[in-house]
Structure 1
Amino acid sequence: MSSEDPEQRDRMSEVDMNPPKRLRTAESHTGTELEVEKSTVDVSIIMPVYNASCWLDECLQAIVDQDFTGSMELSVFDDASTDDSRKVVEGWREKLEARLISVVVSGHCSPKPRGVGFAKNKAISQSCGQYLCFQDADDIMLPQRIRLQYDACVLHQNSLIGCRVQRVPEGSTERYTRWINTLSQHQLITQVYTSHGPTVIMPTWFCSRKWYLKVGLFDEGGKGVPEDLLFFYQSLRQGGGLSRVDECLLVYRYHEKATTHSVTEETIWKLRVDFLQERVLSQWENFTIWNAGKQGRKLYRCLSPINQKKVKAFCDVDENKIQKGFYTYEESKDMTGGILEENLNSLQLKEGIDFCHFN
């Protein structure tokens, strides 16, 4: 008996990846139930799952509690979990269907998970919603999430829609959480080069299916690949917009097992530098790097030879730092105590035109 190709084995182990679309039924005035033509649902909740059984009860209860009155489905793809995640999801099927939320569950049982990007693509391919609501299995959506993001997405068909979040445990990643929740609509676009990653974070994404298909599949490189940032940048390249519902609609959990921890800082740094050069520096004849320390020098070294020649100076607002000749990271509410912002305002420089934040 010949050995199987790994790709073929994975395909064979996947369960019903493209099930037929559900049929909606309607009652006539005589009370007779009639079958209607195949139809999509309004919103598909896209949930990749890997060893998430300890969080699923809270997550799924929150889906049942949604106040959205349109049609919904939950599409789950289990990425080779070794716990009872699939069993937990199946245990909620009756409650979800009683809430008129159809449930599609599949997965694979290969020795290793294929990664979040792979699981998201599979969950989407087996779903049929006109709009996609991305939900991490360890997070909790608030009751109004789907209703408010659906309303926003109907108005912004070619955009990624986000929301504000509550971080748990309270106080974890305090600075990052503040950044997520306080960016202005303008800054959602201008600060896409910062070290934090997508300005509209992946756990809050909501978009139309047609826009997902326009942008293309999530990267399926697996562990260590920032599939969310890659998709985010590709969406911007395609002319996509960004928007945020300015209400807290998601409880965003922080824990050591989160897949984001598998992505190295160097991987993110390279993607950001490449995107900065593509979108901004290629349009500028020359520029200064406003950081005379370690990070500024690191940025310079990562630039292409062409863009290195455009650098006219390294600047800084901290005289002590310049005199020391090296950079020391210091935690603070903002890295310059407001001095940088005062300088920029005094020069009447506009973010996204005259300067951009990278770090």
Structure 2
Amino acid sequence: MTPPNPGEDDVMMPQRIHLQYETCLFNSTSLIGCQVRRDPEGSTERYTRWINNISQDQLSTQVYTSHGPTVIMPTWFCSRDWFQRVGTFDEGGKGVPEDLLWFYQSVGQGGGVVRVDQCLLVYRYHQQAATHSVLEETIWNLRVAFLQERVINQWESFTIWNAGKQGRKLYRCLSSSNQKKVRAFCDVDENKINKGFYTYEESKERPKPQIPVLHYRDASPPYIICVKLDMTGGVFEENLKSLHLEEGVDYYHFN
């Protein structure tokens, strides 16, 4: 295997270990991350904003998004005791998202997620990164399983926010018992709303399930939100804010 180019390695700031160690002393069962600076500057701009700017509470509530771990693996710091309790990494090889799997195991065992709000790492982007070898469908299936285990299995009913491709895909990938919990889809697209319902054509049930499609103002929480953040010039975020809901109680992002 060709050794990595030294210019492609991430670079940590001199104070990183000291600051993360101090934070760990008060968060011994948490995974500690930090803010980062991307190199080349401007690469994965939306992702980098998310890494650096979601709130401390959202580090725990937004663990189901397509971005993956809410603190990125190159910034991880935790106590040896916590690492040993969670367990070792899955060394299945190329195509195994070992960081996501370990992150889910940590959260699943009650571990916290904390970020030191200082830039302590230069996070380098390059095409040879191992993350590019992981199939999107592999990530998707792990995310759906984790969402069902941690959230949907505990709910009696819920609404999927997005009657488009992503929302329908989530519905189709749910267990049959959780599909029955979906009371409605909601959206802002008048064409979808005017149609009135989504028919699950792949279902073996007779008649085939038809799930109502509502305007988001007419729908009821809790929601699983399948709308990407930071993509609508703030329109979606304002719509969500107008409902005065609590993230982690009334809704979770699965974008």
TM-score per shorter chain, which class? 0.7 to 0.9
Comparing 316-325 and 343-352, the one that deviates more: 316-325
Q: CA RMSD in A?
A: 2.1
- Answer yes or no: is 1:354 the counterpart of 2:250: yes
Alpha-carbon displacement from aligned partner over 1:321-354 (angstroms, at most 9, x marks no partner): 65799xxxxxx97234434333333332110001
- Answer yes or no: is 1:181 the counterpart of 2:52: yes
Q: CA deviation at 1:229?
A: 0.5
Asked if 2 retains the 8 angstrom alpha-carbon contact of 1:287 and 1:311, the reply is yes
Amino acid paired to 2:242: S
- Answer yes or no: is 1:267 the counterpart of 2:163: no
Shift in alpha-carbon separation, 1:176–1:160, aligned structure 2, 3 A? same
Amino acid paired to 1:353: V
Q: Which has the higher contact order (CA 8 A, sep 6+)?
A: 2
Amino acid paired to 1:209: R
Asked if 2 retains the 8 angstrom alpha-carbon contact of 1:169 and 1:253, the reply is yes
Secondary structure class of the residue paired with 1:185: coil
Shift in alpha-carbon separation, 1:243–1:51, aligned structure 2, 3 A? farther
- Answer yes or no: is 1:218 the counterpart of 2:218: no
Pairs within 5 Å for 1:87-106: none
- Answer yes or no: is 1:162 the counterpart of 2:33: yes
Shift in alpha-carbon separation, 1:141–1:243, aligned structure 2, 3 A? same
Secondary structure class of the residue paired with 1:193: coil
Amino acid paired to 1:314: F
CA distance in 2, matches of 1:163, 1:255: 20
Task: Name which of 225, 230, 237 aligns with 1:341.
Answer: 237
List runs of 5+ in structure 2 lacking aligned partners.
198-227
Q: CA deviation at 1:237?
A: 1.1
Amino acid paired to 1:341: E
For the pair shown, the structure with the greater C-alpha radius of gyration is 1
Asked if 1 retains the 8 angstrom alpha-carbon contact of 2:229 and 2:237, the reply is no
Asked if 2 retains the 8 angstrom alpha-carbon contact of 1:317 and 1:336, the reply is no
TM score, norm. by length of structure 1: 0.59
- Aligned counterpart, 1:288: 159
CA distance in 1, matches of 2:184, 2:240: 16
Pairs within 5 Å for 1:64-103: none
Q: CA deviation at 1:220?
A: 1.1
- Aligned counterpart, 1:195: 66
- Aligned counterpart, 2:16: 145
Pairs within 5 Å for 1:306-317: 306-317=177-188
Task: Name which of 101, 108, 116 aligns with 1:237.
Answer: 108
Amino acid paired to 1:345: K
List runs of 5+ in structure 1 lacking aligned partners.
1-49, 59-136, 326-331
TM score, norm. by length of structure 2: 0.83
Asked if 2 retains the 8 angstrom alpha-carbon contact of 1:317 and 1:340, the reply is no
CA distance in 1, matches of 2:150, 2:70: 16
